[in-house]
Structure 1
Amino acid sequence: MTLVTQEDSDFTNIFRTSKNGFIQFAYSYLGNMQDAEDVVMESYIQYWENKDKATFQTSNIKGYIFTIIRNRCIDILEERKYLLQKNDELYKHIIGEIELNISSLKGCDPSELFTSEIENIVNDTIKTLPNRTREIFYERYLEQKSYKTIAENFGISVKGVEFHVTKSLNVLRKKLKDYL
């Protein structure tokens, strides 16, 4: 047979009469009903597990449980504050990276990148052409000479000049296929 002490009876009475008020108190600070209920139930359990060690008067069980609830609410709010501060730091870091990327993209001129890249490809490709084809290409496109003048300079026919120009243009088209 189990003996029910006055203290057990007082606790049962406080549990029945104060539970909802405690939950509303915790909820008013935590803003989450599940958290509030958990805090109150954990506080009752903590009281029950430590009632024999407690240095309070049995007439103030309600005040003791209320203090546990208050302290647990403070702990939860401190945890939330800490997490929000960490999230804010992370958010500021991410915003900084995004702003840096935007700035970098705004400062980037794709036409300059492609122009220098294309120039390098053209120069490297022209260097690989046979000497006569390369010289005819230079006279035609850099010196803007006519086919007839180039033919006279090299002692070949206009068709021969056309052959060398077509040959160099075909090689350049192949090398620049990704840009055309």
Structure 2
Amino acid sequence: MNFVEARLAKLARNGDRNAFAELVELYKDKIFHLAYRMLNNKQEAEDAVQETFLRVYTNLHRYDENQKFSTWIFRIGTNLCIDKLRRRKNTYSLDAEMPDGEGNDYYAMLPSHEDTPEKQVIVSETQEQIREAIETLPEKYKSVVVLRYLHDMSLQEIGDVLQMPVTTVKTRVHRGREYLRKRLEQEVHVTI
């Protein structure tokens, strides 16, 4: 358990606004990346960050100091994103956010190796296919895949965040990976 985070949470619970501001600073980018990866929409991700910190602030009295603060805040953020996904499940918009190359997506954080323009195009197309495949994952697989592969969480940490047994997490990671593999194989066959 991170002692600094536990101390900040305790101070924030007792009304220390500076301590809460430090917690926000520590987690705002992490929660944004989680939300953006799950929702694939910058505005919704920003809203999810604000809602997450609002819930954290109003529920600090419920935080159990025996658990990691990161697990608690990721659980709140993940649950908010899952709720948003459920609400928008069958609603599509012609004005939906398109990748605009602003560097706000998770692929932009990958290290650059200055490949040839042709290779850059191929890599870009592949990344777009992966992003689209992740977007089509059923929500029960999407959250575990995002936490596992894009946030590099262990199966135990994911179980803690989503409040489910590690065996369930393991199964969902496996099924999510299989879903992505099949989806990407279909993509390859369609484009050839």
Name the TM-score, length of structure 2 as normaliser: 0.36
Which of 1 and 2 has greater Rg?
1
Higher relative contact order (CA 8 A, sep 6+): 2
